[in-house]
Amino acid sequence: MSVQSTGTLTVVVLAGGRSSEHEISISSGESVREGLLAAGHEVVWVQIDEDGAWRAGDERLAMMPGEGLLESDVVFPVLHGPFGEDGTVQGLLETLDVAYVGAGVAASAVCMDKVLFKQLMHAAGDVPQVEHVGIDEERWRRDGAAAEAEVRRLGLPVFVKPAHLGSSVGIVKVAAWEELGGAVEAALLHDARVIVEATAGGIEVECAVLGRTRSERDAHGAEALASAPGEIVLVGEWYDFHAKYAPGGMELRVPARVSEPVAVRLRELALRAFAHVGCEGLARVDFFVDGDRVLVNELNTMPGFTPTSVYAKLMEHAGVPYAELVDRLCHLALERHERVRAHRH
């Protein structure tokens, strides 16, 4: 699975951002920087402050359309949440005409919106999902009783989430219906759209997806590969922010304790979801598994790259060590940029 490097690249690692996941992004970016240096590349650190300013060192950047970014070969946007993972920064990088790692504008926007992602999977018709209800703030203010009645059909407990945040930020577990209104209001502090999900049961399982280079696609026929499924073994009650990022908050068991047919099904569904939304480069697909029942929950287009993050561990188990992983993602970005520029617009 080794990818031959085509020489030293100058890579802008873009981290921080305006979302509540700013510090997580910084931590992810630092790990990516170390991985790129280990792979033999030159790294330029660009940080997006919480006020939205882009800085390289002490210098505040000014960017011009079509002129790239700091004469880099590729940008690695290790950004989580709104204003980074939702297509906004991807659109800016497209305007700058620079190669960048990860999903494009449309796929980033769709996957960042948990409600829209589920609607797309439903339209595809071949991706089983967790039952859910989407609630926009305007609807909640106008007719909260009707929205609550729809949610009650999911049964208890339910999980209330901001639709556009990751890393389990703003999630509330509701065990009694009198708690629902407060949970929705808390989520609306983060987002104008809320998703309420039924409890799926079973175990939480994740698959890492990695795109294939052009030569690999020619040899294997598939545009991406999926890792063996990894099982999230929780220390606490559910997979909250602490479990994801605190040392010892959870254990990743690879391979997951599922039957071989279920493991095959998980990998197939991960690749199917990746293809349906038009993802490129990488993704982490999250599932609930209860016996032979498999449900897709979310697709993350820029999963965490911290030392405790699942994506890199799954890829390492698949035979792609960290330095090779970030190197491969940069070359995938360059291939896509070359392919896109070949088209007339």
- Residues labelled catalytic: 21, 167, 245, 284, 286, 298, 300, 304
Whether the bond into 321 is cis, omega within 30 of 0: no
How would you class 113 by CB atoms within 10 Å of its CB: exposed for 0-12, middle for 13-18, buried for 19 or more?
Answer: buried
